[in-house]
């Protein structure tokens, strides 16, 4: 499937139905729940645009998000996403896009752009949110690009999948003889580069440093409440995390068990409300 090198991202897109005309049907806008994501069909599998099998025409649907470098996301970052539906000789297009976790729930937050809206449908116990088209907003010749934004989750939740279905309609005021295309894209969390982690360095103290079994942290100089501590290796990979702050707190300081870490240099990051607010390095004997 061709991918555009324009504004990008990558986890999950939802479903849609586009009428081939202006308002003949009860709800001519796009609909959620037909993106081809797990538990969903596409419009080619239902009783609407089902004249042809999905992906059987000579058109395509593609996702682009240039700032999602190598299809990786940085937690808490907003990305611009573009979905392009194209087919020669067609002059009406629609879409449905979702971003989903592996369990089928929404991943991050979608925000509609020009000509699109957010619609919901409950699938597998989750109320999935989808970007869909507004009636006739995809009325351009040969192709149409829908652009919107996606807020990545505030923390690293692992892989996310974007699912999208696109419609290329013949604009004859009927649902027959239209083509439906779909695709998906996995987006993974970006490894934190050492330069990015150390750029978050702030005033807090680790002790003893080097340490052997236990690492103490004094956060008294930080003006915010820390709710998670993460330890990374020198490649930026998470090797250990702590989120029971009250259980770890002693005399206003945190006491962390690091006995299972191998000898070496590590970076410790402090999170507040899911965002990294401070980081520093320590040595483990």
pLDDT digits (tens, 9 = 90+) for 149-170: 999 987 778 899 999 999 998 7
Task: Classify the C-alpha dihedral 126-131-136-139 as positive or negative.
Answer: negative
In this structure, the answer to whether residues 35 and 156 fall within a common structural domain is: yes
CA distances from 133 to 15, 16, 81, 276 (A): 10, 8, 14, 36
Task: Classify the C-alpha dihedral 14-179-17-116 as positive or negative.
Answer: positive
The mean per-residue pLDDT over the stretch 236-249 comes to 82
CATH number assigned to the domain comprising residue 139: 2.60.40.10
Domain count, the chain: 2
In this structure, the answer to whether residues 147 and 222 fall within a common structural domain is: no
**pTM of the entire predicted model:** 0.62
pLDDT digits (tens, 9 = 90+) for 35-67: 889 998 765 455 565 568 889 899 999 999 999
Given strand 214-218, what is the order of strands in its sheet? 205-207, 214-218, 253-257, 249-250
In this structure, the answer to whether residues 214 and 171 fall within a common structural domain is: no
Within 10 A of 106 (CB to CB), how many other CB atoms are there?
A: 21
The pLDDT of residue 249 is above 80: no
In this structure, the answer to whether residues 80 and 174 fall within a common structural domain is: yes
In this structure, the answer to whether residues 258 and 216 fall within a common structural domain is: yes
Q: Which of 190, 216, 235 is the last residue of a domain?
A: 190
135 vs 29, higher pLDDT: 135
In this structure, the answer to whether residues 100 and 168 fall within a common structural domain is: yes
The token duo for 155 is 């923390």
pLDDT digits (tens, 9 = 90+) for 64-81: 999 998 899 988 889 999
Q: Give me the percent of the chain exceeding a pLDDT of 70.
A: 75
| Spatial distance between the Cα atoms of 127 and 108, rounded to a whole number of angstroms | 13
In this structure, the answer to whether residues 83 and 169 fall within a common structural domain is: yes
In which domain, by residue range, is 54 found?
1-190
In this structure, the answer to whether residues 213 and 176 fall within a common structural domain is: no
In this structure, the answer to whether residues 20 and 158 fall within a common structural domain is: yes
Q: Which of 155, 190, 225 is the last residue of a domain?
A: 190
In this structure, the answer to whether residues 223 and 185 fall within a common structural domain is: no
Furthest CA-CA distance within the chain: 74
Q: Which of 143, 174, 190 is the last residue of a domain?
A: 190
In this structure, the answer to whether residues 149 and 253 fall within a common structural domain is: no
In this structure, the answer to whether residues 27 and 132 fall within a common structural domain is: yes
Would you state the pLDDT for residue 153?
87
């Amino acid at each position: 499937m061709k991918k555009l090198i324009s504004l990008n991202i990558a986890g999950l897109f939802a479903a849609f139905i586009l009428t081939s005309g202006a308002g003949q049907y009860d709800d001519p806008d796009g609909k959620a729940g037909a993106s081809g994501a797990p538990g969903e069909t596409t419009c080619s599998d239902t009783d609407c645009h089902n004249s042809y099998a999905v992906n059987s025409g000579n058109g395509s649907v593609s996702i682009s998000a240039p700032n999602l470098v190598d299809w990786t996301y940085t937690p808490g970052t907003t990305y611009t996403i573009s979905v392009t539906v194209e087919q020669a000789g067609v002059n009406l297009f629609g879409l449905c896009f979702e971003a989903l976790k592996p369990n089928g729930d929404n991943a991050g937050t979608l925000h509609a752009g020009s000509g699109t809206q957010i619609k919901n449908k409950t699938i597998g116990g989750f109320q999935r949110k989808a970007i869909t088209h507004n009636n006739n907003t995809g009325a351009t010749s040969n192709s149409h690009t829908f652009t919107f934004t996606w807020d990545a989750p505030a923390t690293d939740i692992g892989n996310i999948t974007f699912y999208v279905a696109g419609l290329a309609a013949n604009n004859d005021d009927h649902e027959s003889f239209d083509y439906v295309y779909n695709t998906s894209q996995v987006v993974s969390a970006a490894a934190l580069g050492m330069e990015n982690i150390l750029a978050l360095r702030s005033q807090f103290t680790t002790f003893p440093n080097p340490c052997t079994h236990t690492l103490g942290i004094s956060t008294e100089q930080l003006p915010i409440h820390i709710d998670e501590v993460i330890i990374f290796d020198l490649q930026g990979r998470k090797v250990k995390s702590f989120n029971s702050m009250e259980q770890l707190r002693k005399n206003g300081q945190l006491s962390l068990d690091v006995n299972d870490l191998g000898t070496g240099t590590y970076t410790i990051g402090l999170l507040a409300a899911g965002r990294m607010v401070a980081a520093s390095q320590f040595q483990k004997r």
